[in-house]
Amino acid sequence: MLGFKVGSLIAILLLGLSPAKSHSAEDPHKGIIDVDFADPETCQNCHPRQYEEWSSSSHAYGAISPTFNTFEMAVRKATKGRFANNGIQANFCSKCHSPTAELLEEFPDYVDDESVRPVRESLSEVSKRGISCDSCHRVSSIDDTEVLEEGKLGDGVANTSIVLDTRTGMRRGPLEDPVTNSFHAVSTRSYEYMNGDMLCGACHDVRIGYHEDVGTGQPFRRLENLYTEFQESPYVNLDHPLRDQVEAYHPLTGGKVVTCQDCHMSLYPVGEVAEYPTDLVATQGSG
């Protein structure tokens, strides 16, 4: 989105917790599970590497980013609150940048242009953490049923199509047979969507409005196409002409789909980010 001028973005937009169970004094998670959403710093005690990686990521700054806040204020003014908390497309931009704030109902209403202030000024400390640990690890499912999002892929994954668990307070992960404790969800199965690309695609495809795109005939206009482009790439499409290069660079793929997490959150990266072959990604003028 950084490549858009504010005016261009606005033009496109115009077109278009229940109480925790009691636990013993010995429980190391006491004081964490008793709050609605955990500050990532509380996760740092057991997951220092993951916290360090998150803390320098764009996710950590999603809600307080000056760029995002400037765009969001401009959109609220230009649309007279259409995307504000009390608008007909409430918090369309903001809810991806801080899902916690959406659930805690912290986003401001629109009154008039003069009273518009940066979203970050309305947020609690935990909501200022943007896309925090809980934003992903409390996802209980991916909602792909919205008719608006049915399009080229027909999977409806876009525009914050996640369902956050506000009832149990449990956290979910991709590991099978996790260690039993009162903080993480305990299951005999892994939560497969935690390793799947839909978890990322839920926010990384952005589709605007109920206006048909004259070029594609789809019932929306595309603002961010990252997930759709990924789905059509050689990482997912095993018959893609460039698939052999993926296989050569990722020898462990073995004819399998490469997910977002395989590269961006891998425990066993095959190389530094700067070493990845540029001919496997989209570039300007590539058509």
Task: Please give the average per-residue pLDDT across 111-119, as a whole number.
Answer: 92
Query: Using one digit for the tens of pLDDT, what is the confidence trace for 127-142?
Result: 999 999 999 988 888 8
Task: Please give the average per-residue pLDDT across 265-287, as a whole number.
Answer: 54
pLDDT at 63 over 90: yes
Q: What is the mean pLDDT of the chain?
A: 75
Identify the weakest region by mean pLDDT among 10-24, 132-146, 182-196, 228-242: 10-24
- Note the pLDDT of residue 190: 58
User: pLDDT band at 260, cuts 50/70/90?
Assistant: confident
- Percentage of the chain surpassing pLDDT 70? 68
Residue owning tokens 């916290």: 51
pLDDT at 276 over 60: no
pLDDT at 205 over 80: yes
- Enumerate the domain spans of the chain: 6-232, 233-287
Query: Using one digit for the tens of pLDDT, what is the confidence trace for 68-96?
Result: 999 999 989 998 988 888 888 888 888 89
> 137-165 as b/e, with b when 16 or more CB fall inside 10 Å?
bbbbebbbeeeebbbebebbbbbbbbebb
179 or 270: whose pLDDT is higher?
179
pLDDT at 125 over 70: yes
Considering the entire predicted model, what is its pTM? 0.74
Task: Please give the average per-residue pLDDT across 28-47, as a whole number.
Answer: 73
